Amino acid sequence: MSLATLEPPQAVVADPVLTKAVADGVKACLTMCGVDARCVGLSAVPASDRGSVTGMIGVHGEVSGFITVNLAEKAAFSLVGGLLQEQFDGLTDQVIDGVGEITNIIAGGIKKGLAGSAWSFGHVTVPSVIVGQHYQIAYSKGLEYVSVTFEQTNVESVILDDRLLEVAISLIRL
C-alpha cells in the first residue's frame, strides 16, 4: 500500500458526558483545595503521563474501569497543601496520602456527574498512588477514554508541566 492510498485520520471526539463529569469533578475538588485552574487540553487517545505522582482508583458497576489523577510534585504540594491548610515542599507520606484523597474526591465527583447516565458506576476501590516517571498504563481495546488537562493558575512555577493536572477516565460497558 502506498501513502497515496491512505485515508486521512478520522477526527476523534471525546465523549461529552464523560468530559463534563471529569471537568465538574475536578472543579469541585479544586474548590475544596483553594486552587484555581483552567482547562487546557482534552484527549480521547491515551498518552504518556507527564507528572511524577499519579493517583489511581478503580470503578465498577454497570461499567468498569479506572480514573487516574496525574500531576507534578509541585502541583501535588499545592493541591494537598490547600486541602490540608499546610505548606509542603517535599514529597512526604502526608502528600502521597493527600494525592490518594484528592483522587478519591475527584472520583466521587465524577461518580455523581455520571449518575443516571449510560456511564454510571456504583462503586470505587481504595485509591493507589504511583510515585515516579517513565511508566506506562496499557489500555484494553474497547474502552472509552477521556483525559482532561488543567493548568493551575496559582502555582508559582516557570515550567508548565509543574502546573499541570491531568485527569483521565477509561471505562467499558459490561
- DSSP per residue, 8-73: PPPPP---HHHHHHHHHHHHHHHHHHT--EEEEEEESS-----SSEEEEEEEEESEEEEEEEEE-H
Look at residue 57 in the predicted model and tell me its pLDDT: 98
Region 141-152 average pLDDT: 92
Q: Are 34 and 138 in contact (CB under 8 A)?
A: no
Domain range for 125 is 13-173
pLDDT of residue 18: 97
CB proximity list for 144: less than 8 A, separation 6 or greater? 15, 18, 119, 170, 171, 172
Query: pLDDT grade, residue 150 (50/70/90)?
Result: very high
Check which CATH number belongs to the domain holding 73 and give it. 3.40.1550.10
Query: Is position 8 within any domain?
Result: no
Mean local confidence (pLDDT), 60-69: 95
* In a domain? residue 100: yes
Q: Three-state SS for 110?
A: helix
CA distance 122 to 77: 30
Confidence at 31, pLDDT banded by 50, 70, 90: very high
Q: Is residue 149 part of a domain?
A: yes
Per-residue model confidence (pLDDT) at position 67: 97
> Is there a domain that residue 6 lies in?
no
Rounded to an integer, what distance in angstroms lies between the CA atom of residue 101 and that of residue 80?
A: 9
Please, are residues 167 and 148 in contact by the beta-carbon 8 Å criterion?
yes
Among residues 161, 146, 151, the alpha carbon closest in space to that of 66 is found at: 146
Mean pLDDT across the chain: 90
b/e map 14-34, b = 16+ CB within 10 Å: bbebbbbbbbbbbebbbeebe
pLDDT of residue 28: 95
Who has greater pLDDT, 15 or 156? 15
pLDDT at 39 over 60: yes
pTM: 0.90
Give pLDDT, residue 91. Answer: 94
Q: Which residues pair with 149 in a beta bridge?
A: 41, 166
In a domain, 89, yes or no: yes
Please tell me the total count of domains within the chain. 1
Has residue 5 got a pLDDT over 70?
no
